[in-house]
């Protein structure tokens, strides 16, 4: 049976069902995740939306392809996304590079690079996150962490402060209810018996395993019941390297 899934995009001023804070997580110590980026998005329809992302080079942020929009502003160095701090760096996105094979209907190849108009200043509150190599096929069973400003519950708004939750990598059959799940391209993450998950607004945020970004938050069941699906970064390392080298 195919169960309805939603991308994790958070619409701020509209009621569309297509896809706030991490569910069942805890608030991060302020600025302890200096790679995190908060994305303010103006969609192609002119709506306001929000996603997460993470800095991988001083002028590039990695996020989900379904977070694309007419205009994107990246905020680095944020903990509370509603209270501007001295640590904030607000940067415009110069160019968006969604994966050329991204499929909005199947939610496959859900990965996008954002080129910033100017380089970020590396500080205690702003830093880059390492990526896995192409051949770093991470096994199931590993305990990882997801981070974001998404909803803390299905009916709650997005979180003001950065949240984090521990999530375990599962065997691919745990995601067989998602009809388009592809183990080579994606990670199946989160214990179905625990009320801990990413949700709307967490799109594009990283899944960290031993300090390395292994996944990008992509989609989840509409009820927020785990597991969630993350894009498997290692598969896309050649494409990422190609875009970074050209730009």
- The conformational region for residue 227 under phi > 0 = left, psi -120 to 50 = alpha, else beta, is beta
Query: And the tokens for 151?
Result: 């909803």
Active site residue 218: no
Q: Do the strands 143-148 and 186-189 form a parallel or antiparallel pair, or are they unpaired?
A: unpaired
Tell me which of 31, 66, 79, 99 is the catalytic residue: 66
Tell me which of 5, 79, 99, 110 is the catalytic residue: 110
Tell me which of 5, 99, 109, 203 is the catalytic residue: 203
Active site residue 133: no
On whether the CB atoms of residues 214 and 144 are closer than 8 A, the answer is yes
Active site residue 203: yes
On whether the CB atoms of residues 10 and 150 are closer than 8 A, the answer is yes
Q: Which of 11, 83, 67 is nearest to 75 (CA)?
A: 83
Catalytic positions: 66, 110, 203
């Amino acid at each position: 049976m195919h169960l309805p899934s939603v991308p994790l995009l958070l619409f701020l001023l509209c009621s569309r069902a297509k896809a706030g804070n991490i569910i069942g997580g805890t608030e991060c110590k302020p600025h302890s995740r200096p790679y995190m980026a908060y994305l303010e998005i103006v969609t192609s329809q002119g709506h306001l939306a929000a996603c997460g992302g993470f800095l991988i080079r001083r002028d590039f942020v990695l996020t989900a392809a379904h977070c694309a929009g007419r205009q994107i502003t990246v905020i680095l160095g944020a903990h509370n996304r509603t209270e501007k701090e001295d640590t904030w760096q607000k940067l415009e996105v110069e160019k968006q590079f969604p994966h050329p094979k991204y499929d909005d209907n199947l939610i496959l190849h859900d990965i996008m690079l954002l080129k910033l108009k100017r380089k970020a200043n590396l500080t205690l509150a702003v830093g880059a996150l390492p990526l896995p190599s192409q051949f770093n096929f991470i096994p199931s069973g590993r305990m990882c962490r997801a981070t974001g400003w998404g909803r803390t519950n299905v009916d709650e708004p997005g979180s003001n402060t950065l949240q984090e939750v521990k999530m375990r990598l599962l065997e691919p059959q745990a995601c067989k209810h998602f009809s388009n799940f592809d183990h080579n391209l994606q990670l199946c993450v989160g214990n179905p018996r625990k009320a801990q998950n990413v949700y709307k607004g967490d799109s594009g945020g990283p899944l960290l395993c031993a300090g390395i970004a292994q996944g990008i938050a992509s989609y989840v069941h509409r009820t927020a019941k785990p597991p969630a699906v993350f894009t498997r970064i290692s598969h896309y390392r050649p494409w990422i390297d190609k875009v970074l080298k050209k730009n």
